[in-house]
Amino acid sequence: MSTLIPTVKNGRESNTSLGFKSLPSLSSWMDDIINKNFSNEVMSNFNTGITLPAVNVLDNNEEYIVEMAVPGLKKSDFDISLDNQMLSISAELSTKNEDTNENYTRREFGYSSFKRSFTLPETVETDKIKAMYENGILKVFLPKRDEAKKKPLRQIKIS
């Protein structure tokens, strides 16, 4: 789960509740073990599924824009939901292929999925959230409430 606004604890920005930013994840250790112990020929046909997609969060005066790089999917593959200021974006993809010849039958199937969740600030107008998917990029537009928009610089004359 991610937040759009970083939290500050003890005067420092924190992305994790424990503050362990430099420790490698269990999945990276497993990748290292697999890559060292298996040749590329064996692993080239191994379906690892969709990795966690990269996300950009843009903040401009009118809205936040969440951009997610997810090439090769269709609009219908996505599920975007909002529950108590928690925005969840997920996709599930399953494929099934079957070749039948006189002497053999070959079946291949695959399944991959991901889910990313974001805690939205109270300044987002949740009933006006929109999304679009184009050229492998999913964009979710989160409009800001009027009180959250930056006011233009106003010059005050001295009398």
Which domains does the chain show, CATH number per domain? 50-148 (2.60.40.790)
Beta strands 137-143; 63-69: pairing state:
antiparallel
CB 114 within 8 A of CB 53: yes
User: Does the pLDDT at position 45 exceed 50?
Assistant: no
Q: Rounding to the nearest 10 degrees, give the CA dihedral for residues 112, 31, 56, 77.
A: 0
Percent of the chain with pLDDT over 70: 67
For 9-33, the pLDDT digits (tens) are 555 544 444 444 455 556 565 556 5
How far is residue 127's CA from residue 120's CA, in Å, rounded to a whole number?
A: 13
Tell me the torsion sign for CA atoms 34, 53, 90, 22. positive
DSSP character for 147?
G
| Helix residue ranges per DSSP H, the chain | 26-37, 40-43
Q: Tell me, what's the pLDDT at 23?
A: 54
> What is the mean pLDDT of the segment spanning 104-128?
85
For range 47-75, the mean pLDDT:
85
Which of 24-33, 68-77, 109-118, 144-153 is predicted least confidently? 24-33
**Res 139: pLDDT:** 97
> Per the structure block, which two tokens stand in for 40?
């590329």
Give the model's pLDDT for residue 27. 58
Q: Between residues 38 and 83, which one has the greater pLDDT?
A: 83
- What is the pLDDT, as a whole number, of residue 38? 47
What pLDDT was estimated at residue 50? 53
